[in-house]
Structure formats: C-alpha cells, structure tokens
Structure 1
Amino acid sequence: MEKENQNGHGTKHIIQSLLVNIAIAASKGFAAFMTGSGAMLAETIHSTADCANQLLLLLGLKQAKKDADQEHSFGYGKAVYFWSFMVAMLLFSIGGMFSIYEGVHKYNNPEPVHNIGWAIGIIIFSIGMEGYALISNIIELRKRKKSIPFFRYLHVTKDSDLIIIFGENAAAVLGLIIALTALLLSHYTGDSRYDAIGSLAIGVVLIAVAIFLASEVKSLLIGESADAIIIDTINKIAADNSNITEVINCRTVQQGPAEVLVCIKIKIIPDLTTQKISVLINDFEKELRTQHPEVKYLYIEPDFQEWK
C-alpha cells in the first residue's frame, strides 16, 4: 500500500463532518424537545458527542504537525492516534452508555411520543446530511486505498482520523434509521416502549463502533510497523547495490499518519573505505526517501558480518 504524502492528510473531511453534525445536533435536539422521544434524545447526544469528537481530531492533527524537540525527538505524530483513541472512548461512554441509560429509563417509565411529524422530517433531513458526509468519506477512502479491498484497508490503514470519521458517519446513518423505525412503531402501535427499544439499539450500535475504532487505533498508539511495501523497497534497493550483500534486519514504526521511523542494519562487502560507506548510506537514504517521502526518521548501520 502506497502511503500518501503529507498533503493527503488534510482536515477537509473532518471539518465537513463537524459542520454537518452541528446542524444535525441542533435539529435533533429540537425534534427531541417537540416529541419527547427517547430515541431522538439519544441521537441528539450522539451528534453532540460527534461534534466534540471532531474537534478533538482537529486538535490531534494540529499537535501532530509540531516539530520535534528535545523532549520529543521523534516528533508529535502519534498525538493524532491518542486523540483518535479518546474519540472512541467518548463515543462509547457519552454516546453509547447514555443511549442505553435513556432506553432503559424510557422502557421502565413509558411516555407517549407526540408531534411525530417533526421527528420524521428532521430524521429524513439528517439522513440526507449524514448520508452525504458518509458518501464523501467513502469516496476519500476509495481514493486512498488504491487496489486494496475496502474492508481490508479499514484494518491496515494508518489514517486513524479518516477511519474515526467513517465509523462515526456510518453509526449515525444506522442510528437514524433505527430512530425512524422506532418512532414509526411507537406511533402506529401506540406503545412508546418501541421508542425506548430504539434508544437501546442506538446505544448498542455506538458501543460496537467504539470498540471497533478503539481496537484499530490501539495498535497504532502502542507502535505499529509501517506498510510492508517500505521493507520491500528497502530489500530491492539493497539487492540492486553490489556493495550490499544482505539486509541483516529492518525495523519500522509508524510515528504518525505520514511519518515513519526506519532502522536498518546492512551487511556490506569488506574493504570499503569510510568515504565509500558514507556515500553508500547517503545514496540509500536518498533513494528510499524518494520512493517513500513518509520515511522521516532513517538510521542505517553497516556491518561486515551477520549480527543477531
């Protein structure tokens, strides 16, 4: 998988989702007030939490761009992974747990749902807005995934911010469909417990999405290897250089969405002068960074015999 350059990691998709969710949260809140629907209140909390989440992602991306300093010699690239993990936790706690609490409360203390027309209209409007954001998100994912199968890309991509937005938007569309179904059932059966069940179902969806997102981000947060294609490139560069006999070992760490740390130990032919070794290493670094500009930190150690 080719990694995108730094310009490929913009904030457009996050800002777009943030603006959509601000409008939707306000409209859902109005619908919840007008109808007394627990499912609509759960969706209001969900969209409000999404707004906070997207602000956290923007904060993470901003912090990730900070230059390396004495305290953080490899930069702040992993900041975006930390805030992505926090987003998953907030989605679990604020969105999912509150929706379940509201569902249990409404089920044990049923209240009639009224003015359902407001809710239906706003849900349809919200589905259109969330659906637009989700489709835009999928289009961006398809651009970046290249030839990799879509769901495989969700697992292997290093772009945690894009995956978080996709998860939020997908959960929002599904949650709205559940809320609409619950409201219609409550209205036509006269049993408001369907609305409570809808709130419970929305909570389960949010918790499931949060667990998925947290598990995907955790690997990046604790230190995940970079894309295997970088190692393939390293092996090819070494094979094409007559002064290198073997790549003894190679270690990579993803430091951020577009930052990779690479440490290589190579076996070279004997009797090379210090100057020739220096030229060899510089040429190796230049060729690797030309093909993979995301390799920001690169260390190459030459040796004359295999070391384990």
Structure 2
Amino acid sequence: MSASKEGGSKLVIVAALAANLGIAIAKFIAAGISGSSSMLTEGFHSVVDSLNQVLLLYGQHRGKKAPDEAHPFGYGRELYFWSFVVAILIFAVGAGVSIYEGYTHFIEPEPLQSPTINYVVLGIAFLMEGASWTIAMREFAAVKGDAGWWSAVHRSKDPAGFIILFEDSAALAGLAIAAVGVWASHYFADPRLDGIASIAIGSVLALVAVLLAREAKGLLIGEGADPAIVAKVRAIVDGNPAITSVAHVRTIHTAPDSIFVAISADFKDSVTMGEAESLIEGIEDQLRAAVPMLSSIYIRPEKRENAAVFQPAGTISTTSSSDSKRG
C-alpha cells in the first residue's frame, strides 16, 4: 500500500469513528426520552461500529511492526486478524443485541412517546453517517480503478477501506429502517412495529457481518497477489535470456502492501552456479524495481520437468512461452 493509500485508509477510519461516537450518544439520549426500541438498537449499532474502528486502527498500527525472529515476514497480517474480529463483533454484538432488543420490545411493547426527538436525532445521524460514507466511497473508488465494486472488494488486500464502506452502508440502511419503524409505530398506534424494525436492523447487520467475515477469512488464511502482478513477475523472469522457462510463480500477501513470491525457473544448462547467483540477484533487483510491494523474493533454479512433478494438488501447471528458447 502506498503512503497515500495508507493515509486515505486511516482517514476513512478516523472519520467514521468521529461520526459514530457523536451519533451513539445522541441515539441513547433519544432512546431514553422516547422509549424507542429501534433507536436503542441504533445506539448499540453505533457503539459497535466505534469499537470496530478502534480495532482497525490498532490492527494498522500493529501491522507496521518490523519483522523479528518470531515473525520473519512481519506483523502485517494482524490487520487481517482484527478485521475478522470486527466481522464477528458486528454479527455477535451488533446483530445479536439488535434482534434480541427487537424481540423483547415486540413481546413487551412500551408506551409510545413523542417521536420528535427520534426524528431529529435520525436526521442528524443520517447527515453524519452520509458524510462518513461519502469519504469511504470516494477513497475506495479511487483505489478500485476500473474494476466492478464487488470484484474490487473481493480482490482488495486492504480490508479497512471496504469494512468501513460496508459498515457505513449498513448504518444508513439501519437509520432508514429505524425512521420507518418510529413512524409506523405512531401512525398505526402499535409499538410492536418499532420492535420489528429493530429485528430488521439486526438482520441487515448479520448479512453484512457474514459478507465481511468471508472476505476477512480469505485474507487471514492467505491470498495471492493480483493476477496482473503475477503476470508482470513472470514476464520479467521469463524475459531473462538465461531462463529457458518459468514453471510457476506463487505469491501470498503478508500485509496489504507486502507480497512474498516464490519462483521456480529453469536456467540454461550452460549457466554455472556462480553465474546463477549473480543472475538471481539481478532478477531480484528488477522485480523490486517493477513491483515495490515484493518484500521477499525466492527464486529456485529447477528443471521444468521436476517442477511439474512437485506441482501442488489443485494448481495448474503453467509453461512459459519461452520454451522456444530451449536449445
């Protein structure tokens, strides 16, 4: 991740945190005055979101820790761990409390109070959440380029940006549902409708949590680099005249801005061990210059036929077009 992208990601988190802290206080005050279940649910929603943003900031901070003997590839994947924790919190606390509060309010509805304070708080919250959502949308749009939105989320290696975008989108949806719940409960003189709105908000949060957990899990387990990066690496190695073929290029993100790459390449038989060492150093310099995110590079001289034998199950053996250079 470049310095500008990292700064943008942090800006998105801080903006969301500031908005949610202020909104949570206002929502709890409104819920205490009006007795609205959906407003109370929205208050818990904002508290959970605030905690999530603190965890993401902590993950970013921990991820910058330098490599050491215990973690030779650094601590970058801590951000992926805390992102997964955030998804669990949204599901267990955000969605769980919302659905439970809605159910209890439906079973034991409270007397209706004036909805005016609820509408005022919801309006203010919508403006603040909308501002946070706009920042998150703008930053993510700048990063995703020409890719589709869902494709960009799936391919992103920096979970902070899309988690905040999902959270803010869920928050805006929750505010709209809460407003409908408050209005319907007063219009139809049935406070149980407010409880139903709370359950609906919890359902939205549960759906968002499942989607985020799925993406965070993939990053935590380990995802390869973008196919364009892999293709660039292969082209650089394959373009060296001393290389007859590239058996495989395997990558894994050790952080949003850090990639480990392992390359199996077949050198010409005439290349001596000493010459191979110099060639590998030169290729590594080329790769780092072309792809700065390559933090660790491992190039293994290996005969093409031997590399094919040890191809891991489930992968496709790829033979380079440079086979024509053989001989």
TM-score bracket for the superposition, by shorter chain length: over 0.9
Deviation at residue 138 of structure 1 after TM alignment: 0.8
The DSSP-based 3-state class of the residue aligned with 2:117 is helix
Give me the whole-angstrom Cα distance separating, in 1, the residues matched to 2:230 and 2:283: 13
Deviation at residue 211 of structure 1 after TM alignment: 0.4
Deviation at residue 305 of structure 1 after TM alignment: 4.6
Number of the residue aligned with 1:78? 77
Contact 2:178-2:194 at 8 Å conserved across structures: yes
The answer to whether residue 96 in structure 2 is matched with residue 97 in structure 1 is yes
- Superposed, 1:131-146 pairs within 5 Å as 131-146=130-145
Contact 1:269-1:304 at 8 Å conserved across structures: no
The DSSP-based 3-state class of the residue aligned with 1:306 is helix
Deviations 1:215-257 (CA, angstroms, capped at 9, x unpaired): 0110110111111112101221123211111111221111111
Number of the residue aligned with 1:241? 240
Deviation at residue 77 of structure 1 after TM alignment: 0.8
Number of the residue aligned with 1:9? 6
- Superposed, 1:50-129 pairs within 5 Å as 50-129=49-128
- Superposed, 1:281-296 pairs within 5 Å as 281-296=280-295
Q: Once structures 1 and 2 are overlaid, which stretch shifts more, 19-28 or 108-117?
A: 108-117
The DSSP-based 3-state class of the residue aligned with 1:252 is strand
The DSSP-based 3-state class of the residue aligned with 1:298 is strand
- Whichever residue aligns with residue 161 of structure 1, its letter is A
Deviation at residue 7 of structure 1 after TM alignment: 4.2
The DSSP-based 3-state class of the residue aligned with 1:260 is strand
Give me the whole-angstrom Cα distance separating, in 2, the residues matched to 1:6 and 1:253: 21
Number of the residue aligned with 1:29? 28
The DSSP-based 3-state class of the residue aligned with 1:166 is helix
Runs of 5+ unmatched residues, structure 2? 310-327
Q: Once structures 1 and 2 are overlaid, which stretch shifts more, 155-164 or 91-100?
A: 155-164
Distance 1:6 1:280, change over 3 A: farther
- Whichever residue aligns with residue 215 of structure 2, its letter is E
Give me the whole-angstrom Cα distance separating, in 1, the residues matched to 2:115 and 2:259: 52
Number of the residue aligned with 2:271? 272
Give me the whole-angstrom Cα distance separating, in 2, the residues matched to 1:274 and 1:58: 47
Contact 1:123-1:180 at 8 Å conserved across structures: yes
Give me the whole-angstrom Cα distance separating, in 2, the residues matched to 1:252 and 1:149: 23
Structure 1 vs Structure 2 CA RMSD: 1.2
TM-score, normalised via structure 1 length: 0.96
- Higher RCO, 1 vs 2 (CA within 8 Å, ≥6 residues apart): 1
Runs of 5+ unmatched residues, structure 1? none
User: Structure 1 residue runs of 4+, over 6 Å off?
Assistant: none
The answer to whether residue 119 in structure 2 is matched with residue 130 in structure 1 is no
The DSSP-based 3-state class of the residue aligned with 2:112 is coil
The DSSP-based 3-state class of the residue aligned with 1:225 is coil
- Whichever residue aligns with residue 220 of structure 1, its letter is L
Q: Once structures 1 and 2 are overlaid, which stretch shifts more, 210-219 or 279-288?
A: 279-288
Number of the residue aligned with 1:229? 228
Give me the whole-angstrom Cα distance separating, in 2, the residues matched to 1:211 and 1:153: 18
Deviation at residue 267 of structure 1 after TM alignment: 0.6
